[in-house]
Structures are given as structure tokens and as C-alpha cells.
């Protein structure tokens, strides 16, 4: 797994179908259940948008810092923040600490869980038929954002 790759979401493409949630829970838990998915779609039907949300892989993860038993760590090879379900005591401090609401809790297993990027082949990306979710290197993502910003500036200049 490459620690330079990230899940990138194009919110304008998401139709809120839930395919990402279903395939995620199926591949990790062998059941289709949005509550067991590492990818969650926040649906705002009245406003007309859907936002797939997953772990941001924070540089200074609050979840890691609050775990009282060290069940959350950063993998040295991949750079990912990982949860060791065996050592997790189910206190849910990590769920409370995550500023983005990405950390989740399995009430049946009584352990915390989060996105693990499916070992470098995120299934949510593979099965998103709208291509709203992509797995990209950070430099490509940054380059695309710079290009988008430049185009907006040029359009603004041409309007004036």
C-alpha cells in the first residue's frame, strides 16, 4: 500500500446510492450493512447533495492520541492509522475524538473500526459506478486542484 495515495471524493457526482457502503461492509464484515461500513454517505436530501465520508488519515490523529490501551497506531510501512481489534477495549474514546466522525464502532464485536483502504485496493472506489470516489496519489490530486483553481481565475478574469 502506498502512503501517498488518498481516497478523493467528487461530491457533485455522488447520487447517494449507497453502493460504496454496501460493498465496504460486505468485503469487511460479510454483510451488507451501512452501519458496518468504513465509508459513510451523509445524505442531505432537502439540499440535494450526498457526501461520502471516510477516514482522512490525519497527520496527528486524535483517535490515536486518546486510545488508553494503544489499540490504535500508525503502521510504519503504509503510514496508515490502524485499529487492533484484539486490543481494543470498546471504550469509544476514539469515536468521540475524531473531528470528522470517521471512526466507527461495531456494537456486536464491541470494537472500534475505520477505513483500511482495503489493503491498497479500496472496494468503494472499484464499485462506485458514478466515479465519485477515486484513489489517487497526493501529487496528482494537488495538481488537479491547482489546475481547477487556475481555470476558475481565468474564467473570472474573462467575465470582467
Enumerate the domain spans of the chain: 5-159
Q: What is the pLDDT of residue 88?
A: 98
Q: What is the residue-averaged pLDDT of the chain?
A: 91
Instruction: Report the predicted TM-score, pTM, of the whole model to 2 decimal places.
Output: 0.81
Question: What whole-number distance in Å separates Cα of residue 67 and Cα of residue 83?
Answer: 10
- In sequence order, which residues have a C-beta less than 8 Å from that of residue 73 and are 6 or more positions away? 64, 81, 82, 84
**pLDDT (mean) for 65-69:** 97
CATH fold of 5-159: Alpha-Beta Plaits (3.30.70)
Q: What is the pLDDT of residue 79?
A: 85
Binning pLDDT at 50, 70 and 90, where does residue 21 land? very high
Amino acid at each position: 500500500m502506498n502512503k501517498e495515495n488518498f481516497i478523493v471524493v467528487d461530491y457533485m457526482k455522488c447520487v447517494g446510492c449507497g453502493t460504496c457502503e454496501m460493498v465496504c461492509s460486505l468485503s469487511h464484515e460479510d454483510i451488507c450493512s451501512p452501519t458496518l461500513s468504513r465509508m459513510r454517505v451523509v445524505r442531505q436530501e432537502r439540499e440535494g447533495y450526498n457526501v461520502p465520508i471516510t477516514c482522512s488519515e490525519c497527520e496527528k490523529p486524535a483517535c490515536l492520541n486518546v486510545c488508553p490501551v494503544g489499540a490504535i497506531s500508525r503502521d510504519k510501512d503504509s503510514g496508515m492509522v490502524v485499529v487492533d481489534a484484539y486490543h481494543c477495549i470498546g471504550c469509544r474514546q476514539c469515536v468521540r475524538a475524531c473531528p470528522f466522525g470517521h471512526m466507527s464502532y461495531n456494537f456486536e464485536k464491541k470494537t472500534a473500526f475505520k477505513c483500511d483502504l482495503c489493503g491498497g485496493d479500496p472496494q468503494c472506489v472499484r464499485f462506485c459506478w458514478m466515479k465519485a470516489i477515486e484513489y489517487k496519489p497526493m501529487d496528482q490530486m494537488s495538481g488537479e486542484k491547482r489546475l481547477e483553481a487556475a481555470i476558475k481565475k481565468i474564467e473570472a478574469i474573462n467575465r470582467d
